[in-house]
Structures are given as structure tokens and as C-alpha cells.
A and B are shown apart, each in its own frame.
Chain A
Amino acid sequence: MRRSLYTVGTVLVMGAAAMAGPASAAETQSQASLSVLHAVPDLTVDVYVNGALTLDDFTPGTLAGPLPLPAGNYQLAVTAADAPDASAPVIGPVDVTLEAGGNYTATANLDAAGNPTANFYTNDVSPVEAGKARLTVRHVAAAPAVDVLAGGAPIVPNLSNPGEASLSTAPGTVSAAVAAAGTTEPVIGPADLNLAEGTSTIVYAWGSLEGGNLALATQVIEGLQSTPGAVPGGQSGLAAQSAENNDGAALGLGLGALLLALLGGAAVAGRRRTARA
């Protein structure tokens, strides 16, 4: 199983998303968050962090974590599932730095040529604009450049392994597919993708085109929502006038609401009569 190893792709960022935003509320500032995605087809592995067995019998298409870890330097290694220790990795060892408040995903995957490798992505956990969802797509498959389609139309063109792209979109369910760059004939999907408001959905295209096992993997980071900027509840000031009048008349008797109801009712009744007339 050992082939050309020890390669970690440079992460290309096509989107304008800020990397490594502030930590979500659940994290303390000295902690980082690490998830691990297994995206090498047909290979069960063990994952070692700093030489310690951390994920045992980790299977393709599964996601581990998020693991809260103190910020600092770590060494990740992926071994065969029956390896006694981290001394003979099939991928790595890879040195990574986890910044305080950072959110990361390490992937064990295939490079574009089909060799097992690892990638280390920084997840954007900055707040998502109120009423929006964040979508990030990452190409970790043994396949050429692709277009990512939503509802049949390209939303991310020409994405190459190990690149990623990020965008902000309306929340809801989209029909997502992946096609060879410049085409619309899906090589993955279409599959329904639920993009919830205030969350970051990270979609990985993984597997091998040649192996016929291309697939999507999904990671969701919740709790990134923003709140609306205001609650605009009035339009003319009429309620304030009415309240002042009523307060003056009822003065502490608690009849303001009643008067208001009567006045409001009378006004509306008057208007109804007018409307009928």
C-alpha cells in the first residue's frame, strides 16, 4: 500500500472567505478544534497524533471529531489498521500547527494522480451573515479539475485537487453535483445538500475517477450564525402618540391598554364603515 508518500498539498483558496476566524462560542481561546476526514477509498487505517493511537480502524468516508486540542504543534500519521505503532505510516508523518481558536480539518485522501496523501485545511469559522449559509467545497479526489454545480449551474468552476472554494448563499436544499471542468454531465451526484442558515457546510469530492468510486463527503460546522441587525417594529409614531395620550388619561390605573383597545376598535370600526359606504 505504500506508494509515493509524505506529500501534503498546498491549500489553494479560491474563495474570498476569511480563514481562521474567531472561535465559536463553544471553544475557549487557548483551544483549537481538529477534525479528521478519511477519504482514501478501500483502506481502513489508524491515525496517530504525536505518536499516540487516536483513531482506531478508521474507515473511508467517515469523519472524526471535532477534537478539542490545546493550540500547538502536532504530528499526524496514518498507518495501516494493523500497525503496532506510528513507525511505518502510509501517509505522513505530517507536522501541523493548531492556532488558538482555530478550526481545522486534516484529510487523508488521494492526490490528483491517485497517490495517498494528506491535506490540512483551515476551516472558516467566522460568523455567517444573518439569513445566509456558508458553503465550502474541497477537491480531494483522484480526478482532474472539476466544476461544482448547484441546480445544474456551475457555482465553483475549475476546482483542482487539493483546492477549495467558499461562498455565501441562501440557506436551503440545493441539488449539488460535480462534473469535469467545463462540462455539466455529473461524475458525482446530483445529491440533495441541505445548507442550514448560520452554518458552514464543507463538501469534499473524494475517491477516484479511475476507480469509479467518486463520492461526496460532508462536514457541517454549526453555531456560526449572526443575529439580525434590528427588529423594526414601527412605522409612523402613531403608537407613541396614542400611548402618551392614554398614559395621561389613565395615569397609573392600568387602563391604557383598554382605552387603546377601545380607541383602536373605534377607529377601525369607523374605517370599516367608511369602507363599506
Chain B
Amino acid sequence: MHHQRKSFALTAASVAAGVLTICCSVSLWSAPAPQQGITAAAEAAPQRETVGPASPPVLPEANPTRKPTGAPPPPAPVLPPPEKIPVRPAKAAAEPPPVPPVSLDIPNTGISVNVVDVGVDKNDAMEIPNSFWEAGWYRYGPAPGSKAGNAVIAAHVDSQTEVLPFAQLRAVEPGTVITVGLADGRSLRYEVTEVKNVPKATLNGSEVFRRDGPAQLKIITCGGKWLPEKGDYEDNVVLTALPL
């Protein structure tokens, strides 16, 4: 099997060398609130100028001369007691990076691939490895094995010249046990709970890439109809699996 995979990679590489790869066009599902930002900036601008003793007193009780009054304003109703307020050294505690995944195997499919770390490409899309026998793990989100949030692994469903193993993702049955190998040699097992097609236009990025909440594995590729005018598939195929 391993030897076979190598041959595949060779084939793939030779094909890739001659073909200009064109990724799916980017569909923006989340407009990350630029408008909100602008609004907030506009609102905040005068706020900066209100800061400081030169500004008119905002508390009626406050003495405009800034001398201690001896009669401070009444405490805010919800001010927590001092012992309830977190105080810590103002140092950034660098958390050790998680152990990255290195392999993904889904039985009864041809999906038996290496997994590499990926980030975000120039089009604000998740990077997908160009090597056809690799899948990408979104390194800014949780890793497989994290206590919370979704570990996201994605791969291409096809190349310019052939159908790739991830074309079988849509047919994976719930209950299938997936194995994710980690860089430290551990293997994690996940049970598939759902595989569904989600129109790219409505894919909820903040749900898929969730960094808190229950730990899940999300495996994503393209699916549904090919839209020649967009050069893109209509859907994402999203597999959800829970840790065993």
C-alpha cells in the first residue's frame, strides 16, 4: 500500500508538472464585518477625545477640580470583589503548539493520505495541498486530539486530469471509524456521524472552523454539481466525526 501511494505521488507529480492547476474560485461565505469595523471606528473616534481630566466630568458627583472628594460615588452594582478578579503577570504564556496530524485513513475508500499543515491562501481560502495524495489540516484551528473545537482537514476531490480519492468522501457511511495519525506516533480514532453536502454559498465558516465547544473532526472536499461558469463545485462535502 505504501509503495503504491508513492507511485501515485510520482504519477501525480508528473501530471502536475505539466498542468497549470486552477483552484476553485473563492466563495465568500463570511463577510468578516468590515462594515461593523468602519461603524465602530466612526463611533469610537470622538471617544478617544473624551478620555482624561480635560474632558467634562462624566460622573455628576465627580469633582471637576479632580481633588479627592471624600465622598466617592456609589459603587457600581455588579463590581466583583477584589479576590474574584484575575490578576497575573503581564507576560504572554506561549502555549506549546499541538501535535499535528500526519495521516488520515478512511476504510473502504481510497482515502489513505498524508496530512500536512496548511493555512490561508491569497484569496482568503483555506490552503489545499497541491500534492494529490495529501490532505491539509488547518493549523490555526484545533488539532485532532484537542479537547475542544473542530479539527478541519480538507483535500481536493479532483485534479485537472483525474478523480482523486476524496471523491469517495460523500459515500462514507455513518459509523465508519476513521484513523488520524499524529506526528508523535499516536493514532486517534473517530466515528463518522454525518456526511452531507453543503452549498458553498451557505457553508457556515464559523461553525465549520469552530475553536470551542465539543471536539470534532471535520473532513471537507468539494461535491455536488460542477459549475463550469464558476470553475467550481456547487457544494462542499462535509464529514463530521466524533472522537472515540
Contacts and interface: CB of A to CB of B under 8 A. Distances in A.
Q: Interface on chain B toward A: helix, strand, loop, or mixed SS?
A: loop
B4 to A, nearest CB: 9
A27 interface: no
A125 to B, nearest CB: 9
A97 interface: yes
Contacts, number: 332
A239 B33 contact: no
B1 interface: no
Interface of A: 6-11, 13, 18-22, 37, 48-56, 58, 61-65, 67, 69-70, 72-75, 77, 85-89, 92-97, 99, 102, 120, 122, 126-127, 129-131, 171, 173, 192-194, 197-198, 201, 204, 217-220, 223, 225-243, 254, 256-257, 260-261, 263-265, 267-268, 271-272, 275
Interface string B141-176: 000000000000011111111111111101110000
Interface of B: 7-8, 10-11, 14-15, 21-30, 32-33, 36-38, 40-41, 43-45, 47-53, 55, 57-59, 62, 66, 68-70, 72-80, 82, 85-92, 94, 108-110, 119-120, 123-126, 128, 138, 140, 154-168, 170-172, 200, 203, 205-206, 208-209, 211, 220-226, 228, 232-233, 236-237
A85 B71 CA distance: 10
Given A69-B76, A236-B158, A242 B220 contact: no
B162 to A, nearest CB: 6
Contact of B171 (A65, A96, A254, A264): A254
A126 B40 CA distance: 9
Contacts of A254: 171
Contacts of B40: 18-22, 126
Given A8-B51, A130-B120, A260 B82 contact: no
Contact of B72 (A69, A75, A192, A223): A75
B216 to A, nearest CB: 15
A190 to B, nearest CB: 15
Contact of A54 (B45, B47, B79, B140): B79
A126 B79 CA distance: 26
Given A19-B40, A204-B90, A240 B11 contact: no
B109 A127 contact: no
Given A8-B53, A236-B159, A265 B203 contact: no
Contacts of B53: 6-8, 94-95
A263 B160 CA distance: 17
Contacts of B87: 55, 58, 62-64
11 contacts: A21-B41, A52-B72, A62-B90, A70-B77, A131-B119, A171-B140, A229-B205, A234-B226, A242-B163, A243-B167, A260-B163
